[in-house]
Structure 1
Amino acid sequence: MSVAERLRARTPTRRWVGMGAAIVVWFTLYEVNLPTWDWLVYDVVGLDVASRLGSGVHFFFYDSVKIALLLIGIIFAVTVLRSFMSVERTRALLGGRREGAGNVMAAGLGVITPFCSCSAVPAFIGFVAAGVPIGVTMSFLISSPLVNEVAIALLFGMFGLGPTLLYVGAGLVIAIVAGYALGRFRVERWVEPFVFETRLGGQVIDATFALTWDDRIQMGIEEVGSILRKIWPYLLVGIGLGAAIHGWAPEDFFARYAGAGNPFAVLIAVGIGIPLYSNAAGVMPLVQALHDKGLPMGTLLAFMMAVVALSLPELILLRRVLKPPLIATFVAVTGAGIVAVGYLFNAVIPL
Structure 2
Amino acid sequence: MGKITLRDVGEHVGVSAKTVSNVVNGTGWVKDDLKLRVRAAIVELGYRPNAAARQLRSGRSGMIALALPDLAQPYFAELASAMVRAAEERSITVLISQTNGQADAERRISDGVGIPVMDGLILSALALSVDDLTTRLDSTPIVLLGEHIGVSPFPHVTVDNAAAARAATEHLLAIGCRRIAAIGAQSVAPKETADLRLAGYRAALAAAGIPSDDRLVCIVDKFQRADGAAAADALIASGVEFDAVFAFNDLLALGAMHALAEHGIRVPEDVAVVGFDDIDEGRFASPSLTTVSPDKDAIARAALDLLLEADGLDGEANPSATAVPTTTIPFQIVKRASA
Structure 2-normalised TM-score?
A: 0.30
Structure 1-normalised TM-score?
A: 0.29
Higher normalized strand content (fraction of residues): 2
Q: Which has the higher contact order (CA 8 A, sep 6+)?
A: 1
Higher normalized helix content (fraction of residues): 1
Larger radius of gyration: 2
